[in-house]
Amino acid sequence: MGTLSYKDFKLNKVFDFGYMNLSEQEIIDFALFIDPLDFHTNKEIAEKGIFGGLITSGPHLFFLFYKNHYVPLFKDTIIAGLEVNNWKFLKPVYANMKVFCKVTIASMKPNKEKNRVAVKWHFDFTNEKGEHFQMLDMTVLHKMKEEKKKIKK
């Protein structure tokens, strides 16, 4: 599937991003890059802590699906990120757990004059039973239509 355009945006439309899981090494590498807390980066310390094992950095789940699914689908329409709200970290995610992600268009505020639309994307991250690991609302400014390319003389 290639990049989508504004005609694919509909209120309450759900995009199913399937599932992914993370190895211990992927959890550690991501956390060393932006969230270097011991319970994300050090297996031995994590096993003695309240979670009883290495857990994924909260932001890792979102960025995993954002980078691998959202960006490839929507990148040609994105003007800029506007805001993030209600990002809730509800359950720990351990290595090799299946995490499912679905994204719903929760609101759309078009500005036809400027050829722009502010879309609120609601992300749900769940386990196989549908219990939430995490959720988040991301509002992004998109192009409504591709502007016509200037024709070179």
Of these, 16, 52, 82, 109, which contacts a copy of itself (CB under 8 A)?
82
Spatial separation of the C-alpha atoms in residues 55 and 28, rounded to whole Å:
9
- Residues 99 and 133 sit within 8 Å (Cβ to Cβ): yes
The smaller minimum CB distance to a copy of itself, of residues 63 and 94, is found at 63
> Does 59 interact with a copy of itself (rule: CB under 8 A)?
yes
Of these, 3, 23, 85, 107, which contacts a copy of itself (CB under 8 A)?
85
Residues 6+ apart with CB under 8 A from 113: none
> Does 6 interact with a copy of itself (rule: CB under 8 A)?
no
- Residues 121 and 140 sit within 8 Å (Cβ to Cβ): yes
State whether residue 23 is helix, strand or coil. Answer: coil
> Does 128 interact with a copy of itself (rule: CB under 8 A)?
no
> Does 47 interact with a copy of itself (rule: CB under 8 A)?
no
From the CB of residue 100, how many other CB atoms can be counted at a distance below 10 Å?
A: 17
Per CB under 8 A, residues contacting a copy of itself are 33-38, 50, 58-59, 63, 66-67, 71, 75, 78-89, 92, 136
